[in-house]
Amino acid sequence: MLPVAGVLLAAALVQDSAAADSAARPNVTVLPIISYSEMTGVQYGATGLVGFLVGGQSITRVSTISAYAALTTKGHSKVVVQLDRWSAGNSARWRARGEYISYPLQFFGIGSATPDSAEEWYSNGVATGQAFIEQRVYRSTYVHVGARFIRSRPRETEPDGVLEQGTIPGSSGSKVLAPELGVVLDSRDNLVAPRSGSFTRVIPSIASTSLGSDFTYQRLTIDARHYRALGAVYSAAFQLQYDGMAGTAPFDLMPMIGADTAMRGYARGRYRDQHALTAQAEVRSGYWRRIGLVAFAGAGTVGPSLSGLPGGRWFPTGGVGGRLLLVPKDRTVARGDLGFGRGTFSFSIGIREAF
């Protein structure tokens, strides 16, 4: 596990409190972030979020423009820019995202039985572009049409490691273009911190050499969430995720468990295979002087076949976190979560709830 000591230095350097109560003016939040690890050295940067409404209707969900930029003293970088726009009355959603990251990551191999001793570090320069539109067809049901492009080039690998040998798919670099067509059911009362409603995404996608990709595979991603208020103050959130594929994908695009939003406590991609299944639940408190708390627990598994997942090796996770309410009107929060897994832990920070 990467030994990171991350500190969110300030709550909100720029935040127009008057805008938090106005549908016509944008909310602006800027946060500096600093962290340290042996692999990256000191990381320094900032993240910003602008929230705005389209059309002036009170039922319209908040649209956002967000950006993240960070450098490290060892030459790594991460830049993310995203537009997430809801049309008036929530009849359609457009999202465009661009990202570049060259941070070091861990690779343990493929499968649920990979030992900690198999750990090796690598760094790829990964450029990602994503765009989709979701058009409402009935009440809270939307049709999803989009595409994702990922270009990865190796920067650093461990000497004599399996990635350096080039036998793992994608270890020498990859290019993938994956069109998507699916359905979304979304009845959440709020996008960033729901207290009621449900959200389900069923997104099939394909990648093919005939479409310009280096690999050919078919993928199905299912993300189902439910939110319930527990009295006037507390709320509960539940999530079930499935990610499965047929064909061959680059190792870093395979279904995996370990992330700062699901299976908190494990390094990103600690376990990966053709299929992954995770479930988690979280209880969220109300706020005292804009400070809130959460507690979460979950489990996940990976395997070479869908039928083998229920009887596979399951990995537990649990932990606690703190929340700082940045924009009360929109429920936008800064979060810090301490997660524990089987013999491991992690600390993550970000804007918005984990799910």
168-227 tens-digit pLDDT: 999 999 999 999 999 999 999 988 889 999 999 999 999 999 999 999 999 999 999 999
Provide the 3-class DSSP secondary structure of residue 249. coil
Position 39 confidence tier, pLDDT thresholds 50, 70, 90:
confident
Report helix, strand or coil for 12: coil
- For 53-86, write each residue's pLDDT tens digit: 998 788 899 899 999 999 999 999 999 999 999 9
- The CATH number assigned to the domain holding 184 equals 2.40.160.50
pLDDT value at 19 more than 70: no
Domain count, the chain: 1
Q: What's the confidence (pLDDT) of residue 8?
A: 41
pLDDT value, residue 29: 81
Q: Is the model's pLDDT at 1 over the cut of 60?
A: no
Domain that holds residue 258: 5-351
With 0-12 CB in 10 A as exposed, 13-18 as middle and 19+ as buried, what is 210? exposed
Q: Check residues 239 and 41 and name the one with the higher pLDDT.
A: 239
Please check the confidence at residue 2 and state whether its pLDDT lies above 60: no
pLDDT higher at 257 or 17 = 257
More confident residue, 147 or 37: 147
**Measured between alpha carbons, how far is 103 from 43 in angstroms, rounded to an integer?**
10
- CA–CA distance, 57 with 173 (Å, rounded to integer): 47
**Average confidence score pLDDT of the chain:** 90
pLDDT digits (tens, 9 = 90+) for 280-323: 999 999 999 999 999 999 999 999 999 999 999 999 999 999 99
DSSP single-letter state for residue 18: T
pTM: 0.89
Q: Are 132 and 95 in contact (CB under 8 A)?
A: yes
Predicted local distance difference test score (pLDDT) of residue 24: 56
pLDDT band at 327 (very low <50, low <70, confident <90, very high): confident
Ranges of H-type helices in the chain: 162-165
Look at residue 33 in the predicted model and tell me its pLDDT.
82
pLDDT in tens, 328-340: 888 889 899 999 9
Segment 119-146, tens digit of pLDDT: 999 999 999 999 999 999 999 999 999 9
